[in-house]
Amino acid sequence: MSKNKKSKRKRLGSHRIWITLLFCLIVTIIANIFIVFFASSFASYMMNTKIVDQYEAASYMAKLYENSDDEEGAVELLKEDDKTFFIMDKHGNILYQNGENTMGTTSGKMEISVFNNGFFTKEETIRVYVDKVTEGFLEPNEDGEISIDFGKILAFAQNVPKDSNIKVDIKRTSVEMPIWLAIEVKNGTQIFYSKAAFTVSLSDITFIATFALAGAALVFCVLILMLANMISTLISQRKMRKIFYHDHVTRGHNWMWFMKETEAILKKRKTRQIRFAVIDIVFVKYRNYCSCHSIADGEQMLIKIDKILKQNMRFNEVTAHYGSANFCAMLVCKDDAELKQRIEFIMDQLQKIDNEHRISYHVGVYAIEPIKDKNGKFIKKNEEDIDIEEYYNNACTARSTIIEDDTEIAFFDENLLKEQKWIDTVMDNFDKAIENEEFVVYYQPKFNPKNDELSGVEALIRWDSPEFGFKAPGSFIPILEQNGAIPEIDHYMITHVARDQKKWLDEGYHCVPASVNVSRAHFIENDLAMQIKEAVDKEGCPYHLIEIELTESAFFDDKNAMLDTIKKLKEIGFMVSMDDFGSGYSSLNSLKDMPLDVLKLDAGFFSGSEDDERGEIVVSEALRLARNLKMITVAEGVEHREQVDFLAKHGCDMIQGYIYAKPMPGDEYVHVMKKTEASLEETADSETNEAAGEASQKETLNGEVISSEASEEIINEDTQNQSAE
C-alpha cells in the first residue's frame, strides 16, 4: 500500500485512562471553587443585609445633624434614640458625644450594597472602625478592606471579655459584633461616628455551612458517578479490546493486535538501530488435512502452531494468527543468515507437532532495515515510515514464489517488488490497451514438410505499448490469466484475426486456416461457440479459415462442457485443435473422446528424436495414432533440418518453427502468402503441362482424339486427387 493512499487507522484502546482522571479532577476543582465562591458570596450578602440597616440608620442620623441649623438641638434629639455616637472635628476634637466611646484604632473600609425598595441600587464604600473589643478579630486586609469572616466571629464569641457589654445569647447561640461607622458631614469638616452592632446567629452559620456541605456532597456524588462510569467504561473497553484483538480459532491474538503491537515496537526510540523482519508462515495443504481429519482437528493444529510460535518469541518480538492457515510474526535479526537459522529452528519444532503426519510450511520473509539520516545516524521511525500491511504483503509475495510442497523459506528482494509493480501496471493499463488496440497480432506460418508450402498459420499476441515498449506474451498473458482478464484477450484475438483473414481474402491472397488460442477458463463457457461465431460473422470471415486452439491441460477440466463446446464449434464450421500435446501427462482418453481436427505436438515431445531411438518410436507412433484418427498433425518448435526430415518421413502434416519462419507482423506475413501464391502458380503450370503430355500419349495410343474440354476435365481431376492426397 503506497504512502499517499495509506489510511489513518483509529486503533481501539487509544483513549488513555489518565485523560478521564484529569477531566474528573478538573471538574471537581471547578465545582469546589464554585461552591466556595457561591458560599462566600452568599455569606457576604447575608452580612450586607445585616449591616445595611445599621448603615442606613447611621446615615439618617448624620443627615439629620448635618441639615439642622441648631447643632446642639439636633444632638439632643439624636440622644433620645439611645444611640451611641460622637461627632469629631477635623482636628480630632470631640464636639458632641452620646454613650461610651469604645472605638478602637483599627480602621478600614467595607463595601456594602444599599437597598432601595427591596432592590440593590448601588455599591457604597464606608469607613469602618473596629471596636476595642473586636480589635484583633476584625482586621483589614492588604487593600484596607474589612470583611466578615464567620471563623473570626466564632472565635470572638468564645473570647468576649466578661466585663464588656457585648451580648452573647447562649440559648439562641448568637453574638453581637460591634463596629463603628464613620460618615463625613458639614462638607467634610466634621465626622459623625456611630456605633453599630449586627447579630450573627447559629442558624446563619448553620445555613451557610449546610449550603456548603450540600454543594460539596453534590460534587462528591457527581464525582462518584463519573468515577463509576469511568470504571465501567474502562471495563467495557478492556472487554472490547479483548474481543477486537482476540482470534477465535487459536484463542490468542489476531492480525489487528499484531499491527498495533508491531507499530508500537517500531516507533520506540530504543529500537531505532534494530533490524526486524516480518514473517508470513503458511501451513501447507491445511485444507487437505481438515478433509482427511476434521475441521476441529485442523483448528487444534493451528492452536499448537500458535503456541509454539509464542514460545519462540523474544523481547520486542510478536506473533499472531493472520487467518486460515497463515501466521504472522516479527522477529529481531542481525542478518539474513542468522534469521534463516532461527526460522529453520522454529520450523523444525512445528514439523514435529504431529508425528503421524508429514507437515510442511512455506515461509516468506521481509527485512525491515533501520532508517539513517544523511550523516549515517539512526533515526526514529515516524508513523508515515511504518506500514505493517506493506511489510506483510512483501513477505507474502516472497512466500508465493515457493512452488514445492516441502518446507521452504523465501526472502523478499527488489526483483519481487518489481514483478508485483509490473502486475499492477499490466492490470491498470489493460483496459486502455484494449481500447487503443495496443495489442497486435503476429503470425507464425506452418509449412508442409514434404514440399515446404504454406499450409497454416498460428496467430500470436504481442503488446506494443507506447509507454512500456514492445512486450512478449509471457510478460503479460500469465498475469491476465491469474486476474481473470484473459477472455477479453481471446475475443480481441478472434476479432482481429477474422478481420485480417477477411481483408486478405478480399485482396485475393491464398489464405490458410489461422489458429487462435482460447484459454481453458474461457473454453468451458456454455455460450462460447456462439460468442466466437458472432465475432467472426461480424467481420465476415469464412469459418474454415479460423481454427480454435486449446491447450492439453484444458482437457482435465469439465470434460462434458468441453465436449459440448467442441461439437458446437465443429457444427458451425470451425476447426478445433489441441495445443502442446505431450507437454504434460497426455491422456489418450482425451483423443478418444474429443472430436478434434488438429493435433499439435509440443517441441519437447520430439526434441532429440533424430538420435534417440525411444523418442523416434514415441513420435512416430503418436503421428500414426493421429493419422488413424483422421487428425491433422502439427509439430511446433522445430529448429533443425534433421527433425524436419524425420517428421516428414513419419507423415507429419505441418511444421511450425524457426527453421521456417519466426512470428511476424501481418504485413510481413503477406509476403509469405505472396511467395506461396507464386509457388502454387508454378506448380499448377507444371502439372498442367504434364497432364497435357499424358493426354497426347493416350490419344496416340488409342487412336482417338480427345476434345480440349475433356482434357481440361482430366487435368482438373488429377489436380483434385493430388490435393486430396
Task: State which fold the 255-412 domain adopts.
Answer: Alpha-Beta Plaits (3.30.70)
Going 91 to 95 to 100 to 103, the CA torsion angle's sign is negative
* Alpha carbon distance, N-terminus to C-terminus of the chain: 63
CB 283 within 8 A of CB 359: yes
What's the grid cell of residue 618?
A: 514415441
CA 402/CA 325 separation, integer angstroms:
16
Q: Does residue 422 contact residue 477 with C-beta atoms inside 8 Å?
A: no
Question: What's the pLDDT score for residue 680?
Answer: 65
Most distant CA atoms of the chain, gap in Å: 192
Task: Report d(CA 577, CA 555) in Å as an integer.
Answer: 12
Residue 491's pLDDT is what? 94
* pLDDT at residue 719 in the model: 33
- The SS3 assignment for 225 reads helix
Note the residue count of the chain.
725
Helix, strand, coil share of the chain (percent; to 5): 50, 20, 30
521: which 3 cell numbers? 477458463
Distance CA 526, CA 568 (A): 10
- pLDDT tens digits along 453-483: 999 999 999 999 999 999 999 999 988 888 8
Give the alpha-carbon dihedral of 329, 331, 336, 340, to 10 degrees.
-60
The DSSP element (H or E) to which 438 belongs, if any, is none
Question: pLDDT tens for residues 37-89?
Answer: 776 666 666 666 777 778 888 888 888 888 888 888 888 888 887 888 999 98
E strands in 385-524: 408-411, 439-448, 453-465, 469-471, 514-517
Domain 436-662: top CATH class: alpha beta
User: Rounded to an integer, what distance in angstroms lies between the CA atom of residue 321 and that of residue 247?
Assistant: 7
Kindly give, in sequence order, each residue whose CB lies less than 8 Å from that of residue 36, ignoring residues fewer than 6 positions away. Answer: 212
β-partners of residue 673 are none
Segments in the chain below pLDDT 70: 1-18, 20-21, 39-48, 111-124, 136-137, 147-174, 201-205, 208, 372-376, 378-384, 524, 552-558, 582-587, 589, 605-612, 679-725
- Backbone φ and ψ for 479, nearest 5 degrees, come out as -65, -45
For the chain, give every domain's residue range.
Answer: 19-213, 255-412, 436-662, 677-724
Quickly count: other Cβ atoms within 10 Å of residue 365's Cβ. 24
- How far is residue 384's CA from residue 165's CA, in Å, rounded to a whole number? 83
